[in-house]
């Protein structure tokens, strides 16, 4: 679900509660999400202190005092809700659609000066959590083959073009591949290709070069703008606090099939690539 900007927004919202907090108690209401929780999940967390809350691609990383890191992925519909006693309606899940408490799967009882609970709610259960030794984080299965962080130093134009050059798949598929660049999902891939004026059907190898430079730049622009806007705003996504305005951001092509292109007035189309909808403008994406 959430792509890099949304995960980053969640990280920013959770950090004040999580960082420095003792996990006084942790509960899991079922043995698995998408995958089984790791062995002794609850007991390995209980009593640990959260030292840091980071992010890699679409994953949240809670660095623990025990030497392990809690890896959390929100899947399509995962969200965290904080109750620190200051909400207008304490304990009430607040964004529309309301979180059904049936899907509250993990509760972290935190204390970093004052007590708060962080509840993980995930109707579709496409999310997952894992615990790995912090020392071996880079080598764990989730990150071993992951590409560079787009807003970090490793995402250079040269490296990006080099990665595209060897790929015969459509550029749309290449950008969704987390080994090429981390954190992009269906929405921001559509948006970046639109802004760069590149057809989603074009072979990735044919994008390497001038088009690759442009695409690289538009990926950065669109991600930065979305983070600035506080994450994007699909109805399925909620920030961690009741009153954060996450529902204002609109996309230029995503979910706008049949509407006019803002740039060239052509009609925005939708095609299916690797089973996912691609929204694009055939007038200005070549």
Catalytic residues: 2-3, 58, 276
Residues binding DNA: what is the number (CB under 7 A)? 43
123 scored as a contact of DNA (CB under 7 A):
yes
Question: Residue 270: beta bridge partners?
Answer: 279
Q: What residues numbered 159-198 form the site for DNA, per CB under 7 A?
A: 166-170, 173-174, 176, 178, 185-187
Using alpha carbons, select from 149, 101, 146, 155 the residue that is nearest to residue 123.
101
18 contributes a contact to DNA by CB under 7 A = no
Q: Is 2 in the site for DNA (CB under 7 A)?
A: yes
Nearer to DNA, 112 or 277 (CB): 277
Tokens of 64: 């623990």
Query: What is the C-alpha separation between 19 and 51, in angstroms, rounded?
Result: 5
Structural Rg of the chain based on CA atoms: 20
* Region 252-281 residues binding DNA, contact defined as CB under 7 A: 274-277
Where does the chain show beta strands of DSSP type E? Answer: 22-28, 50-56, 59-64, 68-73, 79-83, 104-111, 115-121, 128-133, 268-273, 276-281
For position 126 contacting DNA by CB under 7 A, the verdict is: yes
**Could you please report the per-residue DSSP string of 205-261?**
GGTTTHHHHHHHHHHHHHHHHHHHTTS---TT---SSTT---S----SSTT-TTSBP
Residue with token string 């987390």 = 178
In the range 72-101, which residues lie near DNA by CB under 7 A?
73, 75-77, 97, 100
Residue selected from 25, 34, 49, 165 as contacting DNA according to rule CB under 7 A:
34
* Nearest approach, Cβ of residue 182 and DNA (Å): 8
CB atoms within 10 A of CB 10: 25
235 binds DNA (CB under 7 A): yes
CA angle 200, 203, 205 (to 5 degrees): 130
**Applying CB under 7 A, which of residues 110, 196, 204, 215 lies at the interface with DNA?**
204
CB of 220 to DNA, least distance (A): 18
Percentage helix, strand, coil for the chain under 3-state DSSP, each rounded to 5:
25, 25, 50
Closer residue to DNA in complex, CB, 167/211: 167
Binding mask 98-117 for DNA (x = CB under 7 A): --x-xx--------------
Query: Smallest gap, in angstroms, from Cβ of residue 265 to DNA?
Result: 24
Q: Tokens 């802004």 label which residue? A: 195
Candidates 19-27, 121-129, 131-139, 210-218; binding stretch for DNA (CB under 7 A) = 121-129
Residue whose CB is less far from DNA, 48 or 129: 129
**List of residues contacting DNA (CB under 7 A):** 1-3, 6, 34, 57-58, 73, 75-77, 97, 100, 102-103, 123-126, 141-142, 166-170, 173-174, 176, 178, 185-187, 204, 232, 234-237, 274-277
């Amino acid at each position: 679900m959430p792509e890099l900007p949304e995960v980053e927004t969640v990280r920013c919202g959770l950090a004040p509660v999580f960082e420095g907090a003792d996990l006084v108690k942790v509960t899991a209401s079922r043995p698995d999400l998408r995958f089984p929780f790791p062995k002794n999940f609850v007991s390995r967390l209980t009593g640990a202190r959260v030292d840091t809350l980071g992010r890699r691609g679409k994953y949240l990383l809670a660095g623990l005092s025990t030497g392990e890191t809690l890896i959390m992925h929100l899947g399509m519909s995962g969200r965290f809700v904080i109750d620190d006693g200051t909400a207008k309606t304490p304990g009430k899940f607040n964004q529309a659609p309301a979180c059904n408490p049936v899907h509250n799967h993990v509760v972290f009882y935190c204390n970093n000066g004052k007590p708060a609970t962080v509840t993980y709610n995930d109707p579709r259960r496409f999310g997952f959590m894992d615990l790995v030794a912090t020392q071996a984080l880079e080598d764990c299965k989730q990150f071993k083959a992951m590409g560079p962080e787009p807003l970090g130093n490793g995402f250079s134009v040269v490296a990006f073009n080099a990665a595209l050059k060897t790929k015969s798949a459509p550029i749309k598929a290449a950008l969704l591949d987390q080994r090429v660049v981390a954190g992009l999902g269906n929405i921001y891939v559509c948006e970046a290709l639109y802004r760069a004026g590149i057809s989603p059907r074009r072979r990735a190898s044919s994008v390497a070069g001038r088009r690759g430079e442009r695409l690289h730049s538009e990926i950065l622009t669109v991600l930065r703008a979305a983070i600035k806007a506080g994450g994007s705003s699909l109805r399925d996504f909620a920030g961690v606090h009741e009153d954060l305005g996450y529902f204002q951001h609109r996309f230029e092509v995503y979910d706008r099939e049949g509407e006019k292109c803002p740039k060239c007035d052509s009609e925005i189309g939708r095609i299916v690539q690797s089973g996912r909808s691609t929204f694009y403008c055939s007038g200005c994406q070549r």
